[in-house]
Amino acid sequence: MALAPPAASIVRMRIAQWLLVALSWAAAASAAAASFQVLPTLVEVPPDASVASLTIRNPGTEPLSIQIDAQAWSQGAAGDVRTETGDLVVVPRIAVIAPGAAQIVRMALRNQDRSREHAFRARFREIPPPAPPGFLGVRTALEIDLPVFFSVQEAAADLHWRASRTPEGLLELHAENRGNRFVRLVALQAVDARGAVLAEGRPPLYVLGGSTTRIPLTTHARLAQGDPVRLQIDLGGDRQEHALTVE
Last residue of a domain, one of 133, 150, 167: 150
Q: Given this model, what pLDDT does residue 21 score?
A: 37
User: Do 135 and 165 fall into the same domain?
Assistant: no
Q: Is residue 133 part of a domain?
A: yes
Q: Given this model, what pLDDT does residue 92 score?
A: 98
CATH of the domain at 105: 2.60.40.10
User: Do 85 and 176 fall into the same domain?
Assistant: no
DSSP the chain: -PPPPPHHHHHHHHHHHHHHHHHHHHHH---B----EEE-SSEEE-TT--EEEEEEE--SSS-EEEEEEEEEEEEETTEEEEEE-SSEEEE-SEEEE-TT-EEEEEEEE-----SS-EEEEEEEEE-PPPPPTT--S-B---EEEEEEEE--TT----EEEEEEE-TTS-EEEEEEE-SSS-EEESEEEEE-TT--EEEE--SSEEE-TT-EEEEE-EE-S---TT-EEEEEEESSS-EEEEEEEB-
Q: Given this model, what pLDDT does residue 25 score?
A: 37
Last residue of a domain, one of 150, 177, 195: 150
Q: Given this model, what pLDDT does residue 198 score?
A: 97
CATH of the domain at 199: 2.60.40
User: Do 145 and 49 fall into the same domain?
Assistant: yes
Per-residue pLDDT tens over the stretch 151-190: 999 999 999 999 999 998 899 999 999 999 999 999 999 9
Query: Containing domain of residue 211, as a range?
Result: 159-245
User: Do 70 and 143 fall into the same domain?
Assistant: yes
User: Do 63 and 103 fall into the same domain?
Assistant: yes
Last residue of a domain, one of 109, 133, 150: 150
Q: Is residue 65 part of a domain?
A: yes
Per-residue pLDDT tens over the stretch 139-155: 678 999 999 999 999 99
Per-residue pLDDT tens over the stretch 88-110: 999 999 999 999 999 999 999 99
User: Do 145 and 164 fall into the same domain?
Assistant: no
Tally of domains within the chain: 2
User: Do 136 and 168 fall into the same domain?
Assistant: no
Q: Is residue 131 part of a domain?
A: yes
Using the predicted structure, report yes or no on whether residue 19 has a pLDDT greater than 70.
Answer: no
Using the predicted structure, report yes or no on whether residue 29 has a pLDDT greater than 90.
Answer: no
